[in-house]
Chains A and B, each alone.
Chain A
């Protein structure tokens, strides 16, 4: 993780004007989620929004999908592709986001 922060810091300096590398610190796999989970509440879909959700809740949901404890359509198959640590990193990242 520290390497990512360092890189983000370098980029902030390089960009100037206060522009910052929004989302460049995404942990592995996180960028794929927004294919199904919308950033905006205006999008019509049964897939819930995950931006800004409580990290512990997200982790609990993903682990339950992964371990087959929650009935699922697609997410059981997706969650099995991630270690528990990767799930926690993705959840924390989405929890901290605003858009």
Chain B
């Protein structure tokens, strides 16, 4: 049986790829045949996973991925690039292999969504109709969220919260800084992309400073009193980086209320800090297309059904990844990938008039805080009262008192996770 099936599938995929030229993209969904068409917007860990899995779950579906960039630059592990421990090239992935799975990829921006007409408008004015739409737009910076911080300011005080040129800019600034300089990181209130990210970054910048510029100092100004893997990070700062890292919590006056890029200062309610290098991680919201589609609520994020990831605001549109309000699940690449697979199964099932089964989802956030030193937080989640909630008794962080070989093994697992997930999504 398998031989026949494979032949038929290959033939089918070939035919599908040939018929799905760009010229056919605006054809009504019904013309595509009974299986239907799904449009996915955003080719990161969530969107690229979802497109691939939709096609795997039902090869007869027409699946179009809309993504503005031909190269994806991954955020996980980009803090190692900032610290000079990794090349940005190792973060870059293309879409050639995804295209070979039968997913049609439109390298352009989506500029509008008409939820009633079930139609996406692209930057060149072309339109795509869909039976179901999946949005995985990641985050956008709230440029109005922090006085003094705008796109021009980001060229002086990089956020480096979207990997690429911003990552390299922060790295160059650290390399150019004199020994004895003060590095300031501003960390936002929840929710934001990659909750342990600011603290992993602080750890790795401290590693760079300790090895290259030992008279320097790093200050984290925080809009929070608690953060992900907090005790693990604080133990690391004490054990590995002695007095180099200072964390200023919300209740001790850490919340940055304005920045001045010309003066290189960050101001809190209590004090003004002068920085040699300033890394401003600003407040964020769901990627703009979510707002245009009407699936973002007043918080700026997207409420979803925890079984199907369908928007609670606009039927027919699903949202996965950082943009979604996924309850206890953090905004991580691992979460986006896990959500995208569940969402793809739900979409295929719903298109066949089936009822999606209740899912379980897993997340593991790896942080590398020094070479050979990794820490994790894991969770297992299930739909509860309309949100994804932690399953009691599962998950949690690495032990506080683990030996060095345990930390080294978690660093190796972190590396392995990056290889595995990027192979699954882009390989």
Q: Determine if A19 and B417 form an interchain contact, defined as CB atoms under 8 angstroms apart.
A: no
User: What CA separation (Å) do A20 and B61 show in the bound complex?
Assistant: 11
Q: Determine if B8 and A36 form an interchain contact, defined as CB atoms under 8 angstroms apart.
A: no
Instruction: Specify which chain B residues have a CB less than 8 angstroms from the CB of A14 in the assembled complex.
Output: 34-35, 60, 352
Q: Knowing A29-B361, A73-B413, A74-B378, say if A23 contacts B53 (CB, 8 Å).
A: yes
Instruction: Answer whether residue B376 sits at the interface, using C-beta atoms and an 8 A cutoff.
Output: yes
Q: Knowing A21-B58, A80-B393, say if A45 contacts B417 (CB, 8 Å).
A: yes
Q: Determine if B417 and A36 form an interchain contact, defined as CB atoms under 8 angstroms apart.
A: yes
Instruction: Answer whether residue A96 sits at the interface, using C-beta atoms and an 8 A cutoff.
Output: no
Q: Which residue of A lies closest to B417 (CB)?
A: A36
Decide if the interface of chain A is mainly helix, strand, loop or mixed: loop
Instruction: Answer whether residue A7 sits at the interface, using C-beta atoms and an 8 A cutoff.
Output: yes
Chain B proximity of A27: nearest CB distance (Å): 8
Instruction: Specify which chain A residues have a CB less than 8 angstroms from the CB of B406 in the assembled complex.
Output: 73
Render A15-41 as a binary contact track against B, CB cut-off 8 A, 1 for contact. Answer: 111111111101011011111111110
Q: Determine if A45 and B360 form an interchain contact, defined as CB atoms under 8 angstroms apart.
A: no
CB-contact partner of B349 in A24, A43, A77, A81, under 8 A:
A24
Instruction: Specify which chain A residues have a CB less than 8 angstroms from the CB of B38 in the assembled complex.
Output: none
Instruction: Specify which chain B residues have a CB less than 8 angstroms from the CB of A78 in the assembled complex.
Output: 362, 364, 378, 380, 394-395
Q: For the side of the interface on A, what is the size category?
A: 35 or more
Which candidate, B168-176, B203-211, B335-343, is the interface stretch facing chain A?
A: B335-343
Which candidate, B115-123, B268-276, B282-290, B419-427, is the interface stretch facing chain A?
A: B419-427
Instruction: Answer whether residue A4 sits at the interface, using C-beta atoms and an 8 A cutoff.
Output: yes
Instruction: Specify which chain B residues have a CB less than 8 angstroms from the CB of A35 in the assembled complex.
Output: 334, 337-338, 362, 364, 417, 420-421, 424
Instruction: Specify which chain B residues have a CB less than 8 angstroms from the CB of A73 in the assembled complex.
Output: 376, 398, 406, 409-410, 413
Instruction: Answer whether residue B412 sits at the interface, using C-beta atoms and an 8 A cutoff.
Output: yes
Chain A proximity of B51: nearest CB distance (Å): 15
User: What CA separation (Å) do A18 and B59 show in the bound complex?
Assistant: 10
Which of A33-59 touch B at CB < 8 Å? Answer: 33-40, 42-47
CB-contact partner of A46 in B35, B382, B416, under 8 A:
B416
Chain A proximity of B36: nearest CB distance (Å): 10
Instruction: Answer whether residue B57 sits at the interface, using C-beta atoms and an 8 A cutoff.
Output: yes
Chain B proximity of A29: nearest CB distance (Å): 3
Instruction: Answer whether residue B27 sits at the interface, using C-beta atoms and an 8 A cutoff.
Output: no
Instruction: Answer whether residue B92 sits at the interface, using C-beta atoms and an 8 A cutoff.
Output: no
Q: Determine if B59 and A74 form an interchain contact, defined as CB atoms under 8 angstroms apart.
A: no
Q: Determine if B5 and A38 form an interchain contact, defined as CB atoms under 8 angstroms apart.
A: no
Q: Which residue of B lies closest to A42 (CB)?
A: B423
CB-contact partner of B60 in A15, A28, A37, under 8 A:
A15
User: What CA separation (Å) do A92 and B379 show in the bound complex?
Assistant: 23
User: What CA separation (Å) do A11 and B412 show in the bound complex?
Assistant: 40
Chain B proximity of A66: nearest CB distance (Å): 9
CB-contact partner of B424 in A19, A34, A42, under 8 A:
A34
Instruction: Specify which chain A residues have a CB less than 8 angstroms from the CB of B56 in the assembled complex.
Output: 22-23
Of A43, A74, A80, chain B has the most CB atoms within 10 Å of the CB of A74
Q: Determine if A24 and B8 form an interchain contact, defined as CB atoms under 8 angstroms apart.
A: no
User: What CA separation (Å) do A37 and B53 show in the bound complex?
Assistant: 17
CB-contact partner of A81 in B360, B412, B419, under 8 A:
B360
User: What CA separation (Å) do A34 and B409 show in the bound complex?
Assistant: 19
Chain B proximity of A33: nearest CB distance (Å): 7
Q: Determine if A28 and B9 form an interchain contact, defined as CB atoms under 8 angstroms apart.
A: no
Q: Determine if A11 and B364 form an interchain contact, defined as CB atoms under 8 angstroms apart.
A: no
Chain B proximity of A45: nearest CB distance (Å): 2
Q: Determine if A81 and B394 form an interchain contact, defined as CB atoms under 8 angstroms apart.
A: yes
Instruction: Specify which chain A residues have a CB less than 8 angstroms from the CB of B423 in the assembled complex.
Output: 38-40, 42-43
Instruction: Answer whether residue B304 sits at the interface, using C-beta atoms and an 8 A cutoff.
Output: no
Chain A proximity of B304: nearest CB distance (Å): 17
CB-contact partner of A45 in B338, B342, B345, B419, under 8 A:
B419
Instruction: Answer whether residue B113 sits at the interface, using C-beta atoms and an 8 A cutoff.
Output: no
Q: Which residue of B lies closest to A17 (CB)?
A: B12
User: What CA separation (Å) do A72 and B81 show in the bound complex?
Assistant: 29
Instruction: Specify which chain A residues have a CB less than 8 angstroms from the CB of B380 in the assembled complex.
Output: 29, 78, 80-82
Q: Determine if A22 and B420 form an interchain contact, defined as CB atoms under 8 angstroms apart.
A: no
Q: Which residue of A lies closest to B366 (CB)?
A: A74
Instruction: Answer whether residue B125 sits at the interface, using C-beta atoms and an 8 A cutoff.
Output: no
Given contacts A15-B59, A35-B362, 16 further A-B contacts (CB under 8 A): A7-B354, A14-B60, A22-B56, A24-B345, A31-B345, A32-B341, A32-B362, A34-B424, A35-B334, A36-B413, A39-B424, A47-B416, A77-B395, A78-B380, A82-B380, A86-B360
> A interface vs B, CB < 8 Å?
4, 7, 10-11, 14-24, 26, 28-29, 31-40, 42-47, 73-74, 77-82, 86
* A-B CB contact pairs (8 Å), 8 listed: A4-B357, A7-B349, A7-B352, A36-B413, A45-B413, A47-B420, A73-B376, A73-B409
